[in-house]
Each structure stands twice: as C-alpha cells, then as structure tokens.
C-alpha cells in the first residue's frame, strides 16, 4: 500500500488525529474514465468541507491512543446522495469520536459523482485492504464493522447484503479475503426501499445469517421508509437488528450539536457496539 499525505483542504490532521492515508487501487481504478487526481473539495458557508469529485479513492486512517486501543476497526462511509461526500460531518468527525473510544477508524472516500457501482467496488476493496492488513493495524480481522450515513449507508448495506461480490480485476493478495463487514451500522439511510410496496431493495438479500445491524433515523426524514424496509426484512429473516427512531431531526444531521437526533445516536451506538462487535 502506498502512503500519501491527505491534502490539507480536506481536514486538519492536528484536529482530527489522522495517522495515514492509503490509496485503494495500485493499478487502474476499475471502470474509471478519468485519470487519477486529487479529490475536488467544496467549502460550505459553515466552513465544512464536501468533496464533489473522487477519481482515485482512498481510506484515511485514524489510530486510537495506545492506552485505549481495543483491537477492533470500523469503516466509515460518508453520505452525499452519490453526488458528493460529506467528509467532515459524516467522516472525520465520526472517526475522531470512534478512535477516542478505542476503535481504529477508516474513512472511505469512494468515487463520486454518480458512480454507485464504483462506490461499491471501492468499499469492497477498502474492506479487503483493512482485513488483509489486520496485523499491521493491530486489529482482529473478524472484528471490522462498517457505518454509513445516507448514501454511505446504502454502500454499507450493499457490501453487507448483496448476494455476490461486485467483481473487479484482482489487484493483489488482499483480494483473496472477505469484503463483508462483521456488523453494519446504518444511519439515516436511503435507497433501501425500492422493492414492491416500498419493501427492501431486491438486490439486498437477508437471512438469519445476516450480520448484526444497528439502524437510526428520524421520523421526519423524508426517506425514513428505507429504515422501515430494512428493519422489517431483517426481522422477518430472524436476523439480529436494532432499530431506533426519534420524532424529529431531519436528514444529514451527523454528530452536530444542537440537533437532538445527532446528540442521541452516538450514545446508543456506543452501547450497541460493546455488545455486538
């Protein structure tokens, strides 16, 4: 794996305690028509950063303090409707929080805009790289969860429940290990209710072997049916699922203070992770 310095516009390393960045594709990025280049950022009025184009996907690594390390890892998939990535709100801020709890956190910058299958390939490759390098990261290869927000939650759900791997040309020995997360954390998801009568999207296959799943969403979110569809399908299959709904919060609240939903889910998830990962 090739180590790079994450470009400064995206995030202050001092603030977020990032320890490494790793490109996913040592060869050509599969299916990508544009040459590899740095992510294209866009700064919002509140000072947060969104990335509006990624052609060379990578993971940003956040290592916990030595005294706090628990030997477990979590892949983080920011959202953005597949048009952009909310890398601050739903990526680096979450990684900082998780690394503070002892998890080794990885923020995935998958391909955008409008590259859903490319995003899934990036997720699969990222999970394989982390799992195949478990010794390097000092983690248990069977204790790697994935958390996603909005479109990122859809990426996580596909990686966890799509029937077959989205095949790409083998890159190296990392591609011989599993890409499946050991648990899924689905935060205000979208695109999961495309089945008949807004049931679970047909490409997602559930059974009693589906990994333990945590779901959180606000009832006033216009796409809350995604959480209902996923939770109902998992329940029917007798899989282990925990669904949390709060009355208000809207969509895309991340961990920002001042929003009750944003202030509620981290504590619930922290407790859930202690039992399930």
What pLDDT digit, counting tens, does each position of 95-151 carry? 999 999 999 999 999 999 999 999 999 999 999 999 999 999 999 999 999 999 999
Which CATH number characterizes residue 132's domain?
Answer: 3.40.50.1820
* Closest to 55 (Cα-Cα) out of 99, 15, 115: 115
* Closest to 78 (Cα-Cα) out of 38, 47, 123, 17: 123
Residue 263 belongs to some domain of the structure: yes
56 contacts 36 by C-beta, under 8 angstroms: yes
Residue 258 belongs to some domain of the structure: yes
**Is 122 or 165 the better-scoring residue by pLDDT?**
122
Q: How far apart are CA 86 and CA 268, in angstroms?
A: 22
Structural domain boundaries, residue 206: 13-276
Axis crossing angle, helix 151-161 with helix 116-132, rounded to the nearest 10: 60
Give the chain as a 3 state SS string.
Answer: CCECCCCCCCCCHHHHCCCEEEECCCCCCCCCCCCCCCCEEEECCCCCEEEEEECCCEEEEECCCHHHCCCCEEEEECCCCCCCECCHHHHHHHHHHHHHCCCEEEEEECCECCCHHHHHHHHHHHHHHHHHCHHHHCCCCCCEEEEEECHHHHHHHHHHHECCCCCCCCCCHHHHCCCCCCCEEEECCCCCCCCHHHCCCCCECCCCCCCCEEEEEECCCCCCHHHHHHHHHHHHCCCCEEEEEECCCCCCCCCCCCCHHHHHHHHHHHHHHHHHC
47 Cα distance to chain centroid: 22
Confidence of residue 16 (pLDDT cuts 50, 70, 90): low
Mean pLDDT, rounded, of the chain? 92
Residue 1 belongs to some domain of the structure: no
Looking at the structure of the chain, the number of domains it has is 1
Q: For 171-195, what is the mean pLDDT?
A: 97
Residue 211: per-residue pLDDT: 98
The structure tokens listed for 42 are: 């866009």
- Tell me, yes or no, if the pTM score tops 0.85: yes
Per-residue exposure over 50-75, b if at least 16 CB sit within 10 Å of its own CB, e if not: bbebbbbbbbbbbbbeeeeebebbbb
Radius of gyration for the chain, computed over Cα atoms and rounded to the nearest angstrom = 17
Residue 42 belongs to some domain of the structure: yes
Residue 23 belongs to some domain of the structure: yes
Per-residue exposure over 163-184, b if at least 16 CB sit within 10 Å of its own CB, e if not: eeebebeebeebbebebbbbbb
Residue 8 belongs to some domain of the structure: no
Residue 95 belongs to some domain of the structure: yes
What percent of the chain lies above the pLDDT cut of 70?
94
* Closest to 143 (Cα-Cα) out of 275, 7, 10: 275
Is the pLDDT assigned to residue 27 strictly greater than 80? yes
* Residue 232 buriedness (CB in 10 A; 0-12 / 13-18 / 19+): middle
Residue 4 belongs to some domain of the structure: no
What pLDDT digit, counting tens, does each position of 224-255 carry? 999 999 999 999 999 999 999 999 999 999 99
């Amino acid at each position: 794996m090739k180590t790079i310095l994450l470009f400064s516009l995206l995030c202050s390393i001092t603030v977020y305690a990032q320890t490494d960045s790793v490109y996913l594709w040592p060869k050509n990025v599969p299916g990508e028509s544009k040459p590899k280049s740095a992510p294209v950022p866009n700064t919002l009025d509140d000072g947060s950063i969104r990335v509006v184009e990624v052609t060379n996907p990578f993971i940003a690594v956040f290592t916990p303090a030595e005294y706090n390390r628990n030997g477990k890892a979590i892949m983080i998939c920011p959202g953005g409707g597949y048009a952009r990535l909310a890398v601050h709100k739903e990526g680096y801020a979450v990684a900082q929080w998780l690394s503070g709890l002892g998890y080794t956190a990885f923020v995935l910058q998958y391909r955008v805009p409008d590259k859903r299958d490319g995003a899934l390939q990036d997720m699969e490759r990222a999970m394989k790289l982390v799992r195949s390098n478990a010794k390097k990261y000092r983690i248990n290869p069977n204790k790697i969860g994935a958390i996603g927000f909005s479109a990122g939650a859809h990426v996580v759900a596909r990686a966890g429940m799509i029937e077959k791997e989205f095949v790409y040309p083998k890159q190296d020995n990392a591609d011989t290990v599993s890409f499946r997360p050991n648990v899924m954390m689905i935060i205000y998801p979208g695109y999961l209710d495309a089945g008949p009568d807004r049931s679970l999207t047909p490409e997602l296959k559930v059974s009693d072997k589906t990994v333990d799943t945590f779901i959180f969403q606000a009832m006033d979110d216009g796409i809350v049916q995604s959480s209902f569809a996923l939770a109902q399908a998992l329940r029917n299959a007798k899989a282990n699922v925990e669904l949390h709904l709060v009355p208000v919060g809207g969509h895309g609240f991340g961990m920002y203070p001042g929003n009750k939903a944003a202030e509620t889910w981290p504590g619930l998830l922290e407790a859930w992770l202690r039992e399930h990962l």
